[in-house]
Structure 1
Amino acid sequence: MKSDKQNIRHLSLPALQEYFSTIGEKPFRAKQVHEWLWQRHATSFEAMTNLSKQLRSTLEANFTLPALRVDTTQHSTDGTIKSRFRLHDGHLVEGVLIPTENRQTACVSSQVGCSLSCKFCATGYMDRKRNLDFDEIYDEVALLNQQSLEASGKKLSNIVYMGMGEPLLNYKHVLQSIERITAADGLAMSPRRITVSTAGVAKMIRQLGDDKVRFNLALSLHAANDKKRSEIMPINDTNNLKVLIEALNYFYKATQSQITFEYILFQNFNDSLKDADELIHVYRQVPADLINIIEYNPIDNARFQQPDEDAVAKFMDYLGRHRVNARLRRSRGKDIDAACGQLANKG
């Protein structure tokens, strides 16, 4: 049965102050509760130990605090940690902590499942159940930050919205979550250390420009002509390369934020030198900072295979000789299905 009580984290600080005023409490109580919710990451009213027992009971009676819980955790041999999170309604999403020598990166989900059906992505074979609320996304980041501190003594240095779901189809809550993550009374992370990845929703890329966002944007390209891209990414039928290039230029002009292309190499599909030429042609039309060339991670339902090392080397060399800023990204966490395109709540 659905509760008619309001999620307390959906109240702003002024709204909390107004509530405490109506029940005859001092305004500073609102700041205490706000700090527990966002900086100390309390997952229950009982945990708010500097409030009286009576006040905690009042909050419990009037509000909900539906925090994420870690359902299962898997550790890769390379140090990657994948967590399956249980939402208050029983749905599951996955998040990944990717540690390297210089970075602690959290990869977070924005939807339960996905509606875009990309042919190479495990999440694309799941139905989209619902969007995550901004506080649920914030919980993912806070829990992954906690794992990072426990594993290495280091806080998160970067966040990528590259987990389950299409972030720009959950636009409002994704932006609200980033607002909380970057707030001084949140996790106080620089927006320049946050990257939102999209399969290419041109209208919402333009909206990011209108909203003057300060975080980085990554486009999942994966094929540099419309015929091939539509074959593996049905969204390309309504958001083709010409439309996306225009939207990316609009976004950059409005924000000056960094743009990255993501390009997974598939054997005998997009790994030829002709494909590299087409990729260069798209790259030259956008002020992109970088192309991440990504190792393909096989999944159960897809027909794709990894190219051999020689084909990868030739592709990278060709891009280099044409002065393209490209980086080969080796996948992390493959042994626990935590790598790019593998998230599917296997647990």
Structure 2
Amino acid sequence: MKSDNQNIRHLTLPALQEYFGSIGEKAFRAKQVYEWIWQRHAQSFDDMTNLSKDLRAKLSEHFVLPAVKVDAIQQSNDGTIKSRFRLHDNHLVEGVLIPTDSRQTACVSSQVGCSLSCKFCATGYMDRKRNLEYDEIFDEVALINQQAQESYGKKLTNIVFMGMGEPLLNYKNVLKAIERITAPDGLAMSPKRITVSTAGVAKMIRQLGDDKVRFNLALSLHAANDKKRSEIMPINDSNNLKELIAALNYFYKETGNEISFEYILFKDFNDSKADADELIRIYRQVPADLVNIIEYNPIDMALFRKPDAQTAEEFMEYLAKNKVNARLRRSRGKDIDAACGQLANKG
């Protein structure tokens, strides 16, 4: 097998049909292979048991099928499952299954590492090695879906792109992965059950609007004025709040899709009444459905701490009094470094 052979998963169904025609095989073989790839989640050509051995050998001579493998699994006391995935070039990424009574949510990664250096996020302290290909992202989701069925007897209900990396800096692969995940001949998930989270790339948020995407969007806000936000999220220097608010409004005008804000509470940094007032001002400028207030999860590299329970409760009450639809999101999987901001391939 030559490593420079084409990835068979990057062929469309018509291209596969053309290939099979060129080797004298019937067109329906292409459909069988396509189903193995996208619906039955074959890990190798040998898995394709309704093809002859000769045909499987021929496919392995001409193509590669670089499936993502589960490298390690950790299960939290709360039922959360974190997987470390090994890619074909031995890079590692992490994904998380978050089960509740009503949902099975996959949190997936879109890049190996990250280039944005957010100060509170473990992945932000890693270098960005490369983008994930769309079929690798699809594999993450398919593998976590298998875990959901094996561990909880239920399929995935939701997907959030909140793992390692900035999804909008891997734009084409993320959109192509979502296309395959939502396709009837893929995982057939509703795009309304998918949320892409961004640290705030205004130009690409507008591009989502132009492309009329059908999934939801979350902005990782975490501070509601430019000075504080730039302190913890360097991307704010080139994508300030005014630009992001305009981009979010454009996205909503073009798609009508749900927008939410993510806001991690940091003790003595963004948890005061004045901070809440600034958050309320931003909330009122965007047709946002929800503000997710998130517990901070400590990481070794950062000195942030989470506020005490009373401060968090008062912050939530103040938002509610000002008619902000806010939800306090309790972190899951903290004991296995699977919670928000903790993914860093520690093993």
Which residue is equivalent to 2:60?
60
Kept after mapping to 1: 8 A contact 2:2/2:61: no
How many Å separate the matches in 2 of 1:184 and 1:177? Answer: 13
How big is each residue's C-alpha offset from its partner over 1:316-343, in whole Å with a ceiling of 9 and x where there is no partner?
A: 0000000100000000000000000000
Shift of 1:3: 1.8
The DSSP-based 3-state class of the residue aligned with 1:46 is helix
What's the C-alpha RMSD, in Å, of the aligned pairs? Answer: 0.8
Change (3 A) 1:19 1:2: closer
Which residue is equivalent to 2:38?
38
Q: Describe how 1:306-325 pairs up with structure 2 within 5 A.
A: 306-325=306-325
How big is each residue's C-alpha offset from its partner over 1:132-191, in whole Å with a ceiling of 9 and x where there is no partner?
A: 000000000000000000001100000000000000000000000000000000000000
Which residue is equivalent to 2:134?
134
Kept after mapping to 1: 8 A contact 2:73/2:83: yes
Which residue is equivalent to 1:175?
175
How many Å separate the matches in 2 of 1:56 and 1:172? Answer: 30
How many Å separate the matches in 1 of 2:62 and 2:259? Answer: 44
How many Å separate the matches in 2 of 1:143 and 1:113? Answer: 20
Output the amino acid matched with 1:337. D
Which residue is equivalent to 1:337?
337
Kept after mapping to 1: 8 A contact 2:202/2:239: yes
How many Å separate the matches in 2 of 1:46 and 1:75? Answer: 30
Which residue is equivalent to 1:164?
164
Kept after mapping to 1: 8 A contact 2:110/2:170: yes
Change (3 A) 1:310 1:253: same
Which residue is equivalent to 2:153?
153
Shift of 1:261: 0.1
TM-score norm. by structure 1 comes to 0.99
Which residue is equivalent to 1:290?
290
Output the amino acid matched with 1:58. K
Q: Describe how 1:79-98 pairs up with structure 2 within 5 A.
A: 79-98=79-98
Shift of 1:130: 0.1
Which residue is equivalent to 2:216?
216
How many Å separate the matches in 2 of 1:326 and 1:337? Answer: 25
Shift of 1:2: 7.6
Shift of 1:4: 1.8
TM-score norm. by structure 2 comes to 0.99
How many Å separate the matches in 1 of 2:2 and 2:291? Answer: 45
How many residues were matched structurally? Answer: 347
The DSSP-based 3-state class of the residue aligned with 2:45 is coil
- Quick one: percent identity of the two aligned structures? 80
Q: Describe how 1:106-255 pairs up with structure 2 within 5 A.
A: 106-255=106-255
How many Å separate the matches in 1 of 2:32 and 2:301? Answer: 49
How many Å separate the matches in 2 of 1:143 and 1:300? Answer: 29
Kept after mapping to 1: 8 A contact 2:217/2:260: yes
The DSSP-based 3-state class of the residue aligned with 2:200 is coil
How many Å separate the matches in 2 of 1:120 and 1:209? Answer: 29
